[in-house]
Amino acid sequence: MAQNPPPQTAVDDILVVRNLKKYFPIRRGVFQRTVGHVQAVDNVSFTVKRGETLGLVGESGCGKSTTGKAILQLDRPTAGEVYLDGEDLVKMKGETLRLMRRRMQIIFQDPFASLNPRMNVGQIVSEPLEVHGVAKGKEKEERVKELLRIVGLNPQFMTRFPHEFSGGQRQRIGIARAIALNPSFIVCDEPIAALDVSIQAQVVNLLKDLQAKFGLTYLFIAHDLSMVRHISDRVAVMYLGRIVELADWRTIYDDPRHPYSQALLSAIPIPDPVLEARRQRTILEGDVPSAANPPKGCRFNTRCPVRQERCYSDDPQLREVTPGHWAACHFA
């Protein structure tokens, strides 16, 4: 099995991920014997610089959210290394990991499911402060009011419950909860996927404002490529548990090298009927293979429009095709 090359680390790298794997066992029978594994994340390596946003994109089920949760140790990785500020999260457990969670947070995809319906807004936003013993009493109340103001909500909403808010407002509550402990790194797990198009831009602009104000670093997970370009500094394209292309957003959009990236970008509509009629679309055939039984060789060989004989036997490594532009394709 081909190994992704370890990322070249630098002083300003806040997150370093090396050969991250997350396999889920498949169990069957009365005794629940393990008969196989779902390779949700397989040999993923990348770095994120302090203060930047790395967009992680791909089809549903390709392993994006699992990657984010494995980085935060919400799903413990099967193998690999995850360093946050030089400290290996994979080896941490117990109180050491609990204290480390103050520096890393997550904004969940579904604002309707990620907020406890039995708790009011004040209780939801203040819960991290209580768990980590950061503030109590009047100080905690003032901090919650400040957080609500920061995300554009009225502090008087503290006594209201989640069902009294719209989807966009609920996501703002989730963002307030995520920044309550002043973290340095946040995983944004498709934070705009469940929102109306008119609200998506507002939430993205809020995330950009918070990043500029507090120096936050984001891993922004999404499948909407048109929205990712507005917030990401670099973009990683994921397919069937692996990163197939990684570059800055302008390079990805102007000069994609991997056939899968080209197909994704060709699906973005152009708001010009003349250009839309002229451009050539890349239509992928078939469905995404099962992560429990991925194809041999290149994992994209069942759908790739430029596949050749070697693609069925040789597993392409993620290699640097031009400075700062990485692609996992024999013909990139």
Q: What is the pLDDT of residues 51-100, one digit of tens each?
A: 999 999 998 889 999 999 999 999 999 999 999 999 999 999 999 999 99
Range of the domain at 111: 13-117+184-197+205-327
Residue 22 sits in a domain whose CATH number is: 3.40.50.300
pLDDT of residue 8: 54
pLDDT of residue 165: 94
Give the three-state DSSP class for 303: coil
DSSP state of 233: S
Q: Which residues of 72-99 are buried (b: 16+ CB within 10 A; e: fewer)?
A: bbebebbebbbbbeeeebbebeeeeeee
Residue 229 Cα distances to 58, 96, 162, 267, 323, angstroms: 14, 36, 31, 15, 20
Question: For strand 185-189 and strand 53-57, is the pairing parallel, antiparallel, or unpaired?
Answer: unpaired
In a domain, residue 322? The reply is yes
HSE-up (13 A, CA, CB side) for residue 2: 21
Largest CA distance in the chain: 68
Dist. CA 224–CA 268, nearest whole Å: 9
End-to-end CA distance of the chain: 20
pLDDT at 179 over 90: yes
Mean of the pLDDT values across residues 180-200?
91
Backbone φ, ψ for residue 159 (5° rounding): -90, 0
Residue 203 Cα distances to 79, 154, 173, angstroms: 34, 16, 11
pLDDT of residue 248: 94
Structural contact between residues 108 and 74, judged by C-beta atoms closer than 8 angstroms: no
In a domain, residue 179? The reply is no
Dist. CA 200–CA 154, nearest whole Å: 20
Dist. CA 57–CA 265, nearest whole Å: 11
What pTM, to 2 d.p., does this model score?
0.90
pLDDT of residue 162: 94
In a domain, residue 97? The reply is yes
Question: For strand 87-88 and strand 79-84, is the pairing parallel, antiparallel, or unpaired?
Answer: antiparallel
Residue closest to 128 by CA, chosen among 174, 173, 181: 181
Cβ neighbours of 180 (radius 10 Å)? 25
Q: C-alpha dihedral over 166, 169, 174, 180, to 10 degrees? A: -150
DSSP state of 119: S
pLDDT of residue 75: 94
In this predicted model, what pLDDT tens digit does every residue of 98-138 receive, in sequence order?
Answer: 999 999 999 998 888 999 999 999 999 999 999 998 888 89
In a domain, residue 167? The reply is no
pLDDT at 269 over 80: no
In a domain, residue 140? The reply is no
In a domain, residue 20? The reply is yes
Give the three-state DSSP class for 42: strand
Domains held by the chain: number: 1
Q: Where are the alpha helices (DSSP H) in 80-235?
A: 94-100, 121-131, 137-150, 167-178, 197-214, 225-228
Mean of the pLDDT values across residues 152-169?
94
Residue type, 23: Y
In a domain, residue 41? The reply is yes
pLDDT of residue 2: 52
Structural contact between residues 37 and 24, judged by C-beta atoms closer than 8 angstroms: yes
Where does residue 277 rank: exposed (0-12), middle (13-18), buried (19+ CB within 10 A)?
A: exposed
In a domain, residue 245? The reply is yes
